[in-house]
Amino acid sequence: MTLQTEQSFQTSSETSSVGQLNRQMIVILDFGSQYSELIARRIRETQVYSEVLSYRTTAEQLRQLNPKGIILSGGPSSVYDEGAPRCEPAIWELGIPILGVCYGMQLMVQHLGGGVERAERGEYGKASLYIDDPTDLFTNVDNGTVMWMSHGDSVTSLPDGFELLAHTENTPCAAIAHHDRKLYGVQFHPEVVHSLGGQALIRNFVYHICECQPTWTTAAFVEETVREIRAKVGDKRVLLALSGGVDSSTLAFLLYRAIEEQLTCVFIDQGFMRKGEPERLLKLFQEQFHIPVEYVDARDRFLAQIVGVIDPEEKRKRIGHEFIRVFEEESKRLGPFDYLAQGTLYPDVIESADTNVDPQTGERVAVKIKSHHNVGGLPKDLRFKLVEPLRKLFKDEVRRVGRSIGLPEEIVQRHPFPGPGLAIRILGEVTVDRLDILRDADLIVRQEINRRGIYNELWQAFAVLLPIRSVGVMGDQRTYAFPIVLRLITSEDGMTADWAKVPYDLLETISNRIVNEVRGVNRVVYDITSKPPGTIEWE
């Protein structure tokens, strides 16, 4: 997908993205669309950097950013509604190519003197797009290609100088342009996978209209990020809570390459990891990669915090708070530290406001620990400046970076794993016996999907232990034991998911092994619920 290894680009941190990337950046102004983040990802697939900004971003701020292009996202509002979000009108006069998507197109039309009204017939889902002007935006886009529609309003009249580019059976103005001013609008969503010609259209806008160069690449990201870390940290010490996932592992590799012994990695074993994972993690980092890791055995402490706890939110809260306590103790024992490294990713930057700014230095400081549990806040008197080298990357970009700097595939392709671990894959009370049962069952699931070679095709694959018992027969004897739920799902980003249609004989093999090899289990069931309406995890 996005970053490639052979080319070079200028990349960003929280302080330098504007100065470094403005010559090769596409800005997305977000009007509340669920797809704004996806637009950014699609642009990055063309190897051009993109950022999502608020629709409130002023024309002057955009002029200072000096992007190569601007995209106005869709949104849930109607442009004629009172209080509907609007961009500053001066944006149209910047001389920067602009593409309006759905609501963004309607806003462009309304601002520039055209008409937008409630459509007699809305259009939702797939629609065949008939191209009236195959140049510029629609170069190499097939006439009749399928695009994804989702609108109840339509353009009824075009502003002066605009031309019709495409239509559908229900939507006369499906795409428009003012070629001289390089203003374009599409009523459909080219960023979604259902739009078969969508990525070709995006490439046309990025390359042909905005004249961008493919400079967003892995090799230069690593080089530039290492340089920025060294410049920011200087001779100070950095603390990183290592979880073993791809985000924190990639972060550890980057930091160690940049500052070596100034980095201290702490792995807090809370007792809810999968079978063999703590040992494997320590061996990889200390023996194979020669990155020292401080191991903290806190298993008894964490288990004691959730004895008798059934409510899943209470479990998460208690585990999170205990993690903070342990982390605080270890930071004081190993410190002092000036910086806390966090594996913040770009979706977190877009969606989260869990940071403060130091009033004296202007730097972001941590008020929440995110790299391990995503829950709870660090004590306010335990203040670090943040180092967040991954905060401009999506998850798939992190995987590419991790792979390029030498992380093994077992970490790069590691399925997402919740911070509270197996504690929220055991419904009800968590005990040592139940943890042992689930670890053994979970190991069998991972072994079998790896044996079939489909691990990387799945977003997640795991076992869940239910706190109920059912009757079974084993060896002519009656049993009364726990059921295991198999959860194998496919997804692009975890926001939506579908259950995996794996072969029946694979499910049979996993079931037979669990029932025969895991004491205390006599039944295996398969969860075929998609997200929504269900969730990926059970708690």
29/61 Cα distance (integer angstroms) = 12
191 is catalytic: yes
Instruction: Confirm whether 189 is a catalytic residue.
Output: yes
Q: Which of 170, 148, 182 is nearest to 74 (CA)?
A: 148
In the set 178, 189, 372, 373, the catalytic residue is 189
3-state secondary structure 424-479: HCECCCCCHHHHHHHHHHHHHHHHHHHHCCCHHHCCEEEEEECCCCEEEEECCEEE
Cβ-Cβ contacts under 8 Å for 274 (sequence gap 6 or more)? 417, 421, 422, 439, 442, 443, 446
Q: Give the span between the Cα atoms of 2 and 313, in whole angstroms.
A: 36
Structural tokens at position 265: 């990695």
Run of H or E residues at 318? helix 312-334
| Whether the Cβ atoms of residue 177 and residue 165 lie closer than 8 Å to each other | yes
Can you count the helices (H) and strands (E) in the chain?
A: 15, 22
- E strand or H helix at 106, and its extent? helix 103-111
Q: Which of 37, 45, 51, 102 is catalytic?
A: 102
End-to-end CA distance of the chain: 32
Active site residue 210: no
Taking alpha carbons only, the member of 335, 353, 334, 332 closest to residue 344 is 353
Rounded Cα–Cα distance for residues 130 and 127 (Å): 10
Using the Cα atoms of residue 182, residue 188, residue 190 and residue 191 in order, give the sign of their dihedral: positive
Q: Tell the residue number behind the tokens 């609501």, with chain if given.
A: 103
Structure tokens at 21: 């990337």
Dist CA 406 CA 81 (whole Å): 53
Q: How far is CA 280 from CA 248, 273, 274, 432, in A?
A: 15, 11, 11, 21
Q: Measuring CA to CA, which residue among 34, 94, 26 is closest to residue 59?
A: 94
Q: What is the maximum alpha-carbon separation in the chain? A: 84
C-alpha span between 103 and 305 (Å, rounded): 49
State the Cα–Cα distance between residues 394 and 37, nearest whole angstrom: 10
| Catalytic choice (14, 45, 123, 191) | 191
Per-residue tokens: 38: 């996806």
Q: What does the angle CA 42 – CA 17 – CA 69 come to, to the nearest 5 degrees?
A: 45
The number of angstroms, rounded, from the C-alpha of 509 to the middle of its chain's C-alpha atoms is: 33
Contact 407, 253 (CB under 8 A): yes
Q: Kindly state the tokens that stand for 402.
A: 């991790």
Give the count of beta carbons closer than 10 Å to the beta carbon of residue 517: 12
Catalytic annotation, residues? 102, 189, 191
